[in-house]
Amino acid sequence: MSEHEAHASAAAQLGIAMTGDLRRDLEAVQARVDQVLAAVGRAQEQTFEATDESGTVSAGVSGSGELVGVEITPQAMRDLDATELAAACREAIQNARLGMAAGMMSALKETAGFDLEEAPDPADPREAWRQATKESGWTS
């Protein structure tokens, strides 16, 4: 694959048709990148909330995954010992962070057309990086 074909392929994955006019093509790419960054920015401004399996502990995280709150119901305080309560808190926080990750993936999919769930799962991330840079034409 030639360098031009690699760039055209990468642009096509972003939903951009290369016209051959470098300035226009770069402006189209920049506009698409701006759209993706705006969508991710909106997702980062959200708060994602979830509960543990029993629903007695809830947690909220920001779009960057930072913990913003934990609520424990009187039922949890009454029925759970310290170890169980800690586990319920961890579960609620983990569920909230999973919700945040799903929100980010959704923003990427809607805006960039890129679905992380459909991306190949490489055994060696370094090899995936080498392959991606080779296919993009960034390296020879």
User: Can you give the pLDDT at residue 48?
Assistant: 92
pLDDT score, position 40: 78
Give me the mean pLDDT over the 100-117 stretch.
75
Q: Does the predicted TM-score (pTM) go above 0.85?
A: no
Of 51, 55, 54, 57, give the one whose Cα is nearest residue 98: 51
DSSP string, 28-94: HHHHHHHHHHHHHHHHHTSEEEEE-TTSSEEEEEETT--EEEEEE-HHHHHH--HHHHHHHHHHHHH
pLDDT in tens, 65-87: 899 999 999 999 999 999 999 99
Where does 3-115 sit in CATH, by number? 3.30.1310.10
